[in-house]
Amino acid sequence: MQRVFITGASSGIGAALAQYYAGQGAALGLVARRQDVLEQLRAGLSHPERHRLYALDVNDHAALTAAAEDFIAAGGGADVVVASAGISQGTLTEHAEDQQVFEQVFATNVLATVATFTPFIATMKRQAQAGQRDLRLVGVASVAGIRGLPGAGAYSGSKAAVISYCESLRVELRASGIKVVTIVPGYIDTPMTQVNHYKMPFLMPAPRFAAKAGAAVARGSSYQVIPWQMGVVAKLLRLLPNWLYDLAFSKAPHKARKTKG
């Protein structure tokens, strides 16, 4: 039985992954802020008695560490750790009040990813030394982190940081027996994208995304863009010279800001 710990589990990608792994027979540790929503999620999962709930804010690193330690103690270790908690908000640097939004987005999307992985690594190394295989740390990034999108400096910057951080960690842990997997979603049909008022090419249902992400994690893929069409688009965007990229995206629609300046 796989032991899978997932942050951001109450909705969107996190909830879809919880449903996927529960369907695979895994025992889950589910992290989100609201206990009632977690309980509702668990009630709809296969074998609800197997799953442990941790109602906390991922920016409370002490609480996150305590949850990780409880999950390890209850199951005797962990096989897959998925840092999927994330927030998205439009930002404009020219507005001083958006500074706080930048800080919130980076704290949740980047620093909480680090805080999610940290308490598991020593235990997973011991598991690997004991001969266990298929150990995974999974960071959820975004195609928005491949090139900076206007009006999304916080989100694009944070997801670019997740991509680079996971790459650094992957190399650090290369000889440990733990594989680091970077999942890079395109547009997935979740509450986060449902507020977007612009065209979202190759929009994918969350359950289908979860199945493809789960398969990539099982393979130990180092980096996987889902859906694959967005991977092609991302590669093409990286090839564009800056002047052409700037021209093409200078009038791209902006995600709504939290505050108005």
Catalytic residue, chosen from 20, 21, 155, 187, is 155
- State the first-to-last Cα distance of the chain, in angstroms, to the nearest integer: 52
Tell me the C-alpha distance between 211 and 17, whole Å.
8
Question: Which residues, in sequence order, are bridge partners of residue 183?
Answer: 140, 224
Active site annotation includes 187? no
CA distances, 220 to each of 23, 52, 114, 206 (Å): 20, 25, 19, 21
The answer to whether residues 237 and 245 touch, using CB atoms and an 8 Å cutoff, is yes
Residue 83: closest CA among 178, 189, 9: 9
Q: What is the DSSP letter of 79?
A: S
Beta carbons within 8 Å of 39's beta carbon, 6+ residues apart: 53
Tell me the C-alpha distance between 150 and 73, whole Å.
45
CA distances, 44 to each of 17, 53, 207 (Å): 13, 14, 14
Beta carbons within 8 Å of 60's beta carbon, 6+ residues apart: none
Residues known to be catalytic: 155
